[in-house]
């Protein structure tokens, strides 16, 4: 089994990171990505890996098609070790949502490969892949959006350290925090029958691409946030999660991703 703690590289191994797309769910590198996925994300943040595996298989059958999500799983490893599951440095998974924008679902970097620029490389490559998809459809790529769960104020130091890592990475890749919105999403860790499971509040981040940053006014951001509910979670206006995410008083605005990294005390003060 691949361990996150296996640091199987020599000092120079990460000077060149190779990023490629997975097309085979049975490949050992794809399976190593499944393990990394389950190691690096808590259960309430992730969908079953099987769904991702399915989309990897489906990729081999089709090109981007108007109206259909175009999903991608990208993997990273030191150059020359792309066949060694112990050398899997990271993965990113997401999709182009035609008529909307890009949606980055998950990213993870193995412990031994962190703070070496792997996360940044995966983001950049993901943006490129989605640009190609959008180009094939003859569409612009206005933005890429992603969600992230900010730890509870009293969470362990390790959770806050990871939140800092996330927001710095988001900042480094040009992501902007959608301040003023707690995006309520279903709790995937809860039993399907458990209607009472509280939704998970997520922070949203947007990387403006073909649409300039200044065009993301509060009105436009409300559309972007509402669009995420409709397209990804099938929540329409009038459903509790949609309406609680976007109350009439909500005026979202873009701010540097680093601003989302600030820790709040139990009383809501910045510390």
Point out which residues bind ligand COA (CB under 6 A). Answer: 40-41, 107-109, 114-120, 148, 161-162, 164-166, 168-169, 172
Least Å distance between CB 38 and ligand COA? 11
Residue 167's contacts (CB-CB under 8 Å, 6 or more residues apart) are 177, 257, 258, 260, 261
- Residue 170 vs 242, nearer CB to ligand COA: 170
> What's the length of the chain?
271
Least Å distance between CB 103 and ligand COA? 12
Report which DSSP code applies to 209. Answer: S
Determine the distance from the C-alpha atom of residue 30 to the mean position of all C-alpha atoms in its chain, rounded to a whole number: 18
Place of tokens 């003060």: 269
- Residue 117 vs 174, nearer CB to ligand COA: 117
Give the nearest residue (CB) to ligand COA.
Answer: 119
The residues with which 241 forms a beta bridge, in sequence order, are none
- Residue 19 vs 137, nearer CB to ligand COA: 19
- Residue 116 vs 137, nearer CB to ligand COA: 116
- Residue 172 vs 220, nearer CB to ligand COA: 172
Least Å distance between CB 107 and ligand COA? 5
The b-or-e profile of 97-108 (16+ CB within 10 A means b, else e) is bbebbbbbbbbb
- 201's tokens: 């509040």
Instruction: Report how far residue 198's alpha carbon sits from residue 42's, in angstroms, rounded to the nearest whole number.
Output: 16
Least Å distance between CB 67 and ligand COA? 27
Least Å distance between CB 24 and ligand COA? 23
């Amino acid at each position: 089994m691949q361990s996150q703690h296996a640091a199987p590289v020599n000092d120079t191994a990460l000077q060149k990171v190779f990023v490629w797309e997975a097309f085979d769910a049975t490949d050992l590198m794809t399976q190593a990505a499944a393990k990394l996925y389950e190691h690096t994300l808590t259960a309430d943040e992730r969908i079953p890996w099987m769904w991702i595996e399915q989309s990897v298989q489906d990729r081999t059958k089709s090109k981007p098609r108007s109206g259909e999500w175009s999903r991608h799983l990208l993997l990273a490893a030191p150059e020359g070790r792309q066949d060694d599951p112990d050398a899997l440095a990271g993965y990113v998974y997401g999709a182009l949502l035609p008529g909307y924008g890009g949606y980055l679902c998950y990213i993870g970097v193995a412990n031994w490969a962190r703070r070496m620029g792997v996360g940044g490389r995966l983001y950049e490559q993901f943006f490129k892949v989605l640009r190609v998809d959008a180009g094939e459809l003859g569409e612009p790529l206005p933005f890429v959006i992603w969600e992230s769960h900010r730890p509870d104020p009293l969470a362990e130091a390790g959770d806050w350290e990871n939140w800092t890592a996330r927001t710095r990475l988001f900042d480094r890749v040009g992501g902007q925090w959608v301040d003023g919105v707690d995006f309520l999403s279903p709790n995937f860790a809860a039993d399907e029958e458990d209607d009472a499971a509280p939704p998970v509040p997520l922070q949203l981040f947007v990387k403006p691409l073909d649409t300039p940053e200044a065009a993301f006014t509060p009105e436009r951001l409300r559309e972007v946030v509402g669009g995420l509910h409709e397209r990804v979670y099938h929540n329409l206006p009038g459903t509790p999660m949609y309406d609680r995410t976007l109350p009439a008083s909500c005026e979202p605005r873009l701010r540097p991703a680093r601003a989302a990294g600030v820790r709040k005390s139990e009383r809501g003060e910045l510390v």
